Structure 1
Amino acid sequence: MSACTAEPIAFGKTKETTRIVIIGAGVSGIAAATRLLEQGFKNVQLFEAEDRIGGRINTIPFANSFIDLGAQWCHGEEGNVVYERVKDLDVLDRTGDFAGYFARSNKDILTSDQYKALMEFKDEFEVKSDFEGSVGDAFTDSFWKDVGQQLDKAVAKEALDCLKRLICSEDACDHMSELSPRNFVNFAVTGGDLSWRKKGYWKFLSLLLNANEDQPGDQGILKGHVHLNRRIAEVNWSGDGEVTLRCWNGQIVSADHVICTVSLGVLKEKHKQLFVPDLPAAKVRSIEGLKLGTVNKFLLEFEEQPMPENIRGVAFLWLEEDLKELRGSQFFWLESVCNFHRVDRQPLLLEGWIIGAHARYMETLSEEKVLEGLLWLFRKFLKFTIPHPKNFLRSQWHSNPNFSGSYSFYPTYADELRTGRTDLGSPLVHVSGRPRIQFAGEASSRNHFSTVHGATESGWREADRLNEFYKGRAEN
């Protein structure tokens, strides 16, 4: 930052004249922009690299209804701004149990008592704040002290691996050995998950935007403020005055304030090229220390529900000999498929989950190859038949350069670097206190990371930061 102690003479802006550019029109960018307009700012522009708004909220028509390719559940009620916004609209229901039962790769099924004991252990597992090492270490130790001894040793090993995959799908890590206890300690638990009755997460976005809920993608009050297909190539914040942004198409834009809401994955890959001059060391350390994991989903529509009526879903336990054979085959990536389950209020659908490096590999395959592998998996594990689906979709969050992953988590590497989300969310300010470049998004939320409500709060946080700055100027 400049060593000068006073604002440049040229800076005499007000809410009516200051120019604000928001990079990204995901939920954090939308939350920031709509609040800024509500607070009286006039010149607010969003530059979005995709051809749609919403970011990692992507509600699309599918199977005579809507599905969410990205964010899907409202995570809890207490302290959740999403829930607070929709709680009186009768649009949320509590979700059911995901797994239903555990199937082994020889088609054996664990008993209901075994299933209950394993799931209760997973759901009740807690990491103490003073624990040294990874969550994987703590989980493994607790497992063998608790439920592991109640099972045949081979089955226990299979179940442990399966439970780890399920937790990885919730926390977005590739494996639990890289997951820091801070992912549990810092996250503010808000209660059970809630699913959308209709319109998916677009319902929430439509409320923020005052948009038509029957038209996903309607920009509502941001119409005229959003520029689609405008990926930012460079943010030049040299000097003390305006910030200059260059789009990939050559367009040059000047701003007094920039709110950057791109994903942590994009920051990790692009920050050295994106920001001129380089970001401060503390900011770089947070970007490099935190991680954006990959979690993808599969959605299959059938003529009629193939899952037996008494089964909600299935999780997969690999016998050691079957796993060795799998790893040498073309379907090796199926090892990281966690589970498949029914979809609330959509009786003809099945939804599945895959994590980590195998999820990233899956993204490179054709839909035909992915579906071939999934049908092979069903035949390998299930005693009932899953037919070829009527329709099939899979998400590909990592290979999309505008996201480069799904959602963030605290790895043990961030502990080693002594960095975290506060460093990521801290603004770059002029010595006078004027915010120049601000950062928002779920990865910058200290207690609600990896959630839509955390992303929303971060957008409001940065809008309020600007509002306070201009309020202070008005009082002087």
Structure 2
Amino acid sequence: MNTVSRDAKIAVVGAGFAGLAAAATLIKAGFQNVKILEAKERVGGRVCTTKPFTENIIELGANWIHGQDGNPLYQLAKEQDLLVETIAVSKIMCLPHSVTPRDYFFMEGGKQLSTDRVDPVCSLFSKLTSKAFESELEDKHRALSLGDYLDVSFAESPLATSEDGTKIFEWCKRSECTDEAASSLYEVSASQIGYYIALEGGFFNSLGPGGYQAILDIVLKALPSGTILNNTAVKIIQWDLKASSQGDKDEEEDHAVQVICENDHIFDADHVIVTVSLGVLKQHARTMFEPALPKSKLDAIERLGFGTVDKIFLCFSERFWPEDCAGIQLVWDEGPEDKAVYSSEDEEDAWKKTWFKKICGFDTVAHHPTVLCGWITGREALHMETLEDSEVGDTCVRLLRSFTGWSVPDVSQVLISRWGHDPHVQGSYTFVPQWVNGVKEHEALAAPLPSCSQVSKSKPLQVLFAGEATHVNFYTTTHGAYLSGLREAERLINHYSD
């Protein structure tokens, strides 16, 4: 490697998996001037492992490792003996067909549905979504939204006229909204999700007692003390700075980038790797960069979707659900994913009064015998975030009582994620909306500025971009974020090796 790389100054914005992977890879390659600027007091980004109820962990953010083959985080966790195999299945980033006989389905009126009635509908839903994910859609379906494609296909099945079939199918769609981080599947492109690659490996693998924080800790060990500067939010990134024609270069080194932070700290750098979330870019990209980002990148930031998925943890003084119950699923007579309801032009904010209809159900939580976790997504999740914990908890208890008819005690503790209103995240993860070319926009978002191929007097690779939203095939995932950080680090390593 060119020895100049040891002296190149590199600022990494964000200490999530993308930023940590980039910094650790660069340091291992011999770069000695690497700093991570992290806005929060903690590291991890959208990974947030906590212990609010007992000595056992709760994951407020990322929960699972998705797939094994080719997944660097799975390999890292396996090598460090951090995995615990489990038959439990996440309700996030998995398909609704993963429900088991241990899931109890209840109708709005209190009737419990048999697995014989639920399974055929969930199996059909799985088959239909698999066609989209495996790029096997018929030509007539490729231009449709995911919601429209599912509606049209389900209407052709005898299950569409079966008792409660449509209502169960609406539950499946609502659950899929959680996978897509969308308010509605009518926002999501049916054809573009085929570019997302689900890694092989069977059931998802649960992390052990250290949770995702244990994987973060392994990566953090590769970073020298002082590499991460917490509570250092970035305000402006000035790039393409012209080299000074004055002064003695032995006394003052010229750098192409200057990073100005909210606390008025200024960092001169040769390169900056930006790993902030797409939500932050949507909010600040037009004011964060001087000169402005090129139109192609601003368009990508605007066109790609970035939705909110939240968890509602309910801790009870005692368990009230049966031992064989893995989840209590709520099937509404008329749910928010129903197209007529979603597109209604009635009172503009009417949906806020029924925000709780977006809750798919309440799942049991490993190592927490008296805790349930509810999932909610989209605009309803954003509205839920504005409510007090007590109001959300009381609402969830009313739902559990009315749907099951069981004797449900008052909740003793409530813990809610609020990713949509976190100023340093502003959402959960990326999806590709209808009429958007996901590959084009992911690649545009990942493109460095300026590139090595550009004919310019500027120094190349001043601003690089990483994060799950920049990965064409693994967006939404932690391993996508991690791999994107490796990608940008290797880009710089190769630049100095040429």
User: TM-score, structure 1 length as denominator?
Assistant: 0.89
Paired residues of 1:107 and 1:383 also in contact (CA < 8 A): yes
Unaligned runs of 5+ in 2: 92-98, 243-254, 342-348
Determine if the alignment matches structure 1 residue 93 to structure 2 residue 85.
Answer: yes
- Aligned equivalent of 1:203: 214
Equivalent position to 1:62, from 37, 52, 75: 52
How far apart are residue 118 of structure 1 and its match?
Answer: 2.2
Q: CA deviation at 1:95?
A: 4.0
Q: Which residue of 1 aligns with 2:344?
A: none
Residues 335 and 357 in structure 2, CA contact (< 8 A), matched pair in contact too? no
| 1:291 aligned partner | 305
String of CA shifts for 1:220-243, please: whole Å, max 9, x gaps: 634301111111111111345511
Paired position in structure 2 for 1:448: 474
* Superposed CA RMSD: 2.3
Greater mean alpha carbon deviation, residues 104-113 or residues 94-103: 94-103
- Counterpart CA distance in 1 for 2:239 and 2:490 is 22
Residue among 66, 69, 83 paired with 2:74 = 83
Asked whether 1:425 is paired with 2:446, we answer yes
Deviations 1:83-106 (A, max 9, x none): 111224152323425651321110
2:198 alignment partner, SS class: coil
Asked whether 1:315 is paired with 2:318, we answer no
| Cross-structure match for 2:248 | none
Q: How many angstroms does 1:67 deviate by?
A: 1.1
User: What's the TM-score once normalised by structure 2's chain length?
Assistant: 0.85
Counterpart Cα distance in 2 of 1:237 and 1:113:
61
In structure 2, distance between residues paired with 1:445 and 1:37: 23
Q: CA deviation at 1:132?
A: 1.4
Q: CA deviation at 1:150?
A: 5.3
Partner amino acid, structure 1, of 2:195: N
Give unmatched runs, 5+ long, in structure 1.
1-11, 211-219
The alignment status of 1:280 with 2:294, answered yes or no, reads: yes
Rounded Cα–Cα distance in structure 2 between residues aligned with 1:256 and 1:195: 40
Q: CA deviation at 1:15?
A: 1.9
Task: Say which SS state the counterpart of residue 408 (structure 1) adopts.
Answer: strand
Summarize the Cα distance change of 1:143–1:273 in structure 2 as closer, same or farther, 3 Å threshold: same
Deviation at 1:266, TM superposition (A): 0.5
Match of 2:249 in 1: none
Structure 1 residue 455: deviation in Å?
0.4
CA, structure 1 residues 78+410, in 2 after alignment: closer, same or farther (shift >3 Å)?
same
Q: Which residue identity lines up with residue 434 of structure 1 in the other structure?
A: P
The residue number in structure 2 matching 1:306 is: 320
Cα distance 1:222–1:297, how it changes in 2: closer, same or farther (>3 A)? farther
Counterpart contact for 2:122–2:169, Cα < 8 Å: no
Distance 1:78 1:372 in 2: 42
Partners of 1:95 and 1:344 within 8 A in 2 = no
The C-alpha deviation readout for 1:55-77, integer Å capped at 9, x for no partner, is 00011113221111000011111
1:259 is the counterpart of 2:250: no
Displacement of 1:183 after TM fit? Answer: 4.7
**1:352 to 2:374 alignment:** yes
> What's the counterpart of residue 96 of structure 2?
none
Structure 1 partner of 2:204? 193
Q: Give aligned pairs, total.
A: 447
**1:408 and 2:440 aligned:** no
Q: Distance in 2 between matches of 1:13 and 1:231?
A: 31
Deviates more, 1:87-96 or 1:182-191: 87-96
In 2, the alpha carbon distance for the partners of 1:319 and 1:424 equals 41
Partner of 1:165: 174
Given that 1:24 and 1:46 are in contact with CA atoms closer than 8 Å, whether structure 2 keeps it comes out as: yes
Does 2:497 match 1:471?
A: yes
Q: Quick one: distance in 2 between partners of 1:183 and 1:201?
A: 29
Question: What displacement does 1:195 show?
Answer: 1.7
Instruction: Please give the alpha-carbon distance, in whole angstroms, between the structure 1 residues aligned to 2:48 and 2:395.
Output: 25
Which aligned pairs between 1:351-370 and structure 2 lie closer than 5 A?
351-370=373-392
| Helix, strand or coil at the partner of 2:475 | coil
The 8 Å contact of residues 300 and 392 in structure 1, kept in 2 or not, is answered as yes
> Given the superposition, is the C-alpha separation of residues 222 and 449 from structure 1 closer, same or farther in structure 2, using an over 3 Å criterion?
farther
State percent identity of aligned pairs: 32
Residue identity in the other structure for 1:454: G
CA contact (8 A) 2:170 2:335 kept: no
User: Which range moves more in the overlay, 381-390 or 450-459?
Assistant: 381-390
Q: Is the 8 A contact 1:117 1:147 kept in 2?
A: no
| In structure 1, C-alpha distance between the alignment counterparts of 2:74 and 2:282, rounded to whole Å | 31
Give runs of aligned pairs for residues 40-55 of structure 1, distance below 5 A: 40-55=30-45
